[in-house]
Chain A
């Protein structure tokens, strides 16, 4: 067998964005627009596949000049934010869509899983769907005949194999679909986010199966937002940003870079002069910083769930004498309030003051947070509110036990538990 590889060379892909239509505020304008509409619509629909004017504002470079190679036996992770071009790249690699320029050369049989269960039809039985799904992924009926028992076995739905899939639970559908895909035996596998589905036990089996695949010297391209899974599977990673390939290197190196880029840009805010600082004529924020306890406050720190954190706020007070305390509200990026903590109140004079909140390890779950800061006078009057004074992200720590799904819960405390035999 010849060597398998993927060679991507200066690949670019253009898409046409929808452009909003102008509104008409007069009847005449509306009528003339209605008459012109067919011509305009035609040009618009035609432009979906026609890119003569590449500098047009409605043209999006989903991929721009991307080059890389994957060698035999390598498991390449592709990371990047939503809209970075990962899915477009996979679409081009799996021949669903063709590039606008550049080229791809693939040696070996490719199977791409951009979706679990493509071709599943709810009216058909599990058995029929295995054949349907298998042939659409490029298997012949003979190949499926040969592996049928193995597929059914792996999926764990033997009892329902002749029941229409519409009577399956969604978990069962996913299990069946993944086991078809897992038995394809391609030389090159392209996988997009398949781990986002299924229960913990099944995820573990899928990961195991994918590890097997890579250990058999087959080449895998894996896209995921799940850094744990990427870390445990991939030998090398590339990172995409705005359609460009911005980094290509070892998995840990790329993931750390990616996570630090993910930072909301605000875990450390420092203002040199009161003039530019947020606040009002009574108090102004001098700095707001979140950092790991026991470390220097610095930009781009990566914080994990098992790190103790410090929230530090310094402010200028302009009133000669005031009874003041600080109150912080910790919000998740979705706007749920996690907690509200207040400092003691005390009389302070003019000058720079600092307050610190020490947050223990194993309290915050992995999430993106922002802090609203209240300055309260005499325990009752809010004299200043600074919304989103600082924001930061807490990352999931590498876990030993093989479950990579999202850990649910607003908080993620660890406390003493007991578990022992009571009686026979």
Chain B
């Protein structure tokens, strides 16, 4: 095995050799994900209940404010309780927000690795994208219990759920590749993320129904991938609306572009990570 180390400039995707190397390091990814999962709730009293806590509290707040005080219920236009309506959106949204946030900060948080040992850097931002899935699964189980309690039965559209999960992960990863690579040189990104995440949430149909967006604009709106993910979750789990394929399709276009450009940007910056932290 001959390794050549040369100065590198310009844009880079993955060569076959890079991919082979990435495959060699798959155990490291596995270990890092395992480590994040097992360390996260160590020495806490509630343990994995924390994974449920955040979306449930948000749901209660939203139900009180928007369901009761503002009476968003009437805007939904169906008899689905607001609590179910918002929690169905909060489960994927919480995953997205948490994964995006920790992945964006991941390079800064792991600088002791970056400056001390070589491995394909892309493993670092991928780790939270995978490890936060556990929280997602736990919250999802709570969601299923809730649906049962309200006597809501999903229809056949539930089979498309994995596709939505994929879209949600791709979006989080694509954005994180950009943001994490930027954040390591410009710490402004961490400050920016605090309100950016809120902005993204209000821009998504988490607390309000998609019916507020005129029919003709839905496709354009769908280029914001989380819109399609959330509406898709509602369609497949509550089963009172059709799968918004136009929005999901548009979302996949955005997510793919984010991923490809994210990888290109990340790869072009990764050689200077150790120098600029």
CA distance A110 to B116 in the complex (A): 14
Nearest A residue to B115 via CB reads A96
CA distance A250 to B186 in the complex (A): 46
Given A48-B276, A118-B117, A119-B113, also A98-B39 (CB < 8 A): no
The contact string, 1 if C-beta is below 8 Å from chain B, for chain A 125-140, is 0001001100111111
The reply on A378 being an interface residue by CB < 8 A is no
CA distance A353 to B188 in the complex (A): 69
Given A112-B118, A140-B27, also A124-B3 (CB < 8 A): no
Within 8 Å by CB of A137, from B32, B117, B185, lies B117
Could you tell me the distance in whole angstroms from the C-beta of B45 to the nearest C-beta in chain A?
A: 16
Within 8 Å by CB of B7, from A49, A101, A118, A132, lies A101
Number of B interface residues in the complex (CB < 8 A): 36
The reply on A350 being an interface residue by CB < 8 A is no
Task: Please choose the segment from A87-95, A227-235, A313-321 that sits at the chain B interface, where 4 or more of its residues have CB less than 8 A away.
Answer: A87-95
Nearest B residue to A97 via CB reads B274
Given A123-B39, A124-B35, A135-B28, also A49-B272 (CB < 8 A): yes
The reply on B74 being an interface residue by CB < 8 A is no
Tell me which residues across on chain A come within 8 A of B30, comparing CB atoms.
135, 141
CA distance A139 to B272 in the complex (A): 25
Tell me which residues across on chain B come within 8 A of A123, comparing CB atoms.
38-39, 42-43
Nearest A residue to B273 via CB reads A97
The reply on A387 being an interface residue by CB < 8 A is no
State whether A132 touches B31 (Cβ < 8 A).
yes
Segment 22-41 of B: residues with Cβ below 8 Å from A: 24-25, 27-28, 30-32, 35, 38-39
CA distance A110 to B112 in the complex (A): 20
State whether A96 touches B116 (Cβ < 8 A).
yes
State whether B117 touches A124 (Cβ < 8 A).
no
Tell me which residues across on chain B come within 8 A of A140, comparing CB atoms.
24, 27
State whether B35 touches A49 (Cβ < 8 A).
no
Could you tell me the distance in whole angstroms from the C-beta of B111 to the nearest C-beta in chain A?
A: 11
Tell me which residues across on chain A come within 8 A of B7, comparing CB atoms.
98-103
State whether A49 touches B116 (Cβ < 8 A).
no
Nearest B residue to A38 via CB reads B188
Tell me which residues across on chain B come within 8 A of A95, comparing CB atoms.
3, 5, 118
Within 8 Å by CB of B5, from A48, A104, A121, A137, lies A104
State whether B1 touches A103 (Cβ < 8 A).
no
Mark A residues whose CB is within 8 Å of B. Answer: 15, 42, 45-46, 48-49, 91-110, 112, 114-115, 118-119, 121, 123-124, 128, 131-132, 135-141
State whether A124 touches B272 (Cβ < 8 A).
no
The contact string, 1 if C-beta is below 8 Å from chain A, for chain B 135-160, is 00000000000000000000000000
Nearest B residue to A106 via CB reads B3
CA distance A135 to B120 in the complex (A): 12
Tell me which residues across on chain B come within 8 A of A105, comparing CB atoms.
2-5
A-B pairs, top 7 by smallest CB distance, nearest first, are: A95-B118, A104-B5, A98-B271, A135-B28, A49-B272, A97-B274, A48-B276
Tell me which residues across on chain A come within 8 A of B31, comparing CB atoms.
131-132, 135-136, 141
Could you tell me the distance in whole angstroms from the C-beta of B244 to the nearest C-beta in chain A?
A: 40
The reply on B8 being an interface residue by CB < 8 A is yes
Tell me which residues across on chain A come within 8 A of B39, comparing CB atoms.
121, 123-124
State whether B5 touches A136 (Cβ < 8 A).
no
CA distance A128 to B25 in the complex (A): 17
Within 8 Å by CB of A124, from B2, B38, B118, lies B38
The reply on B15 being an interface residue by CB < 8 A is no
The reply on B245 being an interface residue by CB < 8 A is no
Nearest B residue to A14 via CB reads B275
Nearest B residue to A139 via CB reads B27
State whether A107 touches B1 (Cβ < 8 A).
yes
Known: A48-B185, A96-B118, A118-B116. 13 other contacts (CB 8 A): A45-B185, A45-B186, A48-B272, A97-B271, A97-B274, A105-B4, A118-B112, A121-B35, A124-B35, A124-B39, A132-B32, A135-B28, A141-B27
Tell me which residues across on chain A come within 8 A of B274, comparing CB atoms.
91, 96-97
Given A48-B276, A97-B275, A103-B6, also A128-B116 (CB < 8 A): no
State whether B5 touches A92 (Cβ < 8 A).
yes
State whether B275 touches A136 (Cβ < 8 A).
no
Tell me which residues across on chain B come within 8 A of A42, comparing CB atoms.
186
State whether B118 touches A49 (Cβ < 8 A).
no
A-B contact pairs, 20 of them (CB 8 A): A15-B275, A45-B186, A49-B269, A91-B115, A94-B117, A96-B114, A96-B274, A97-B272, A101-B7, A105-B4, A106-B5, A109-B1, A119-B113, A123-B39, A131-B31, A132-B32, A135-B27, A136-B113, A137-B117, A140-B27
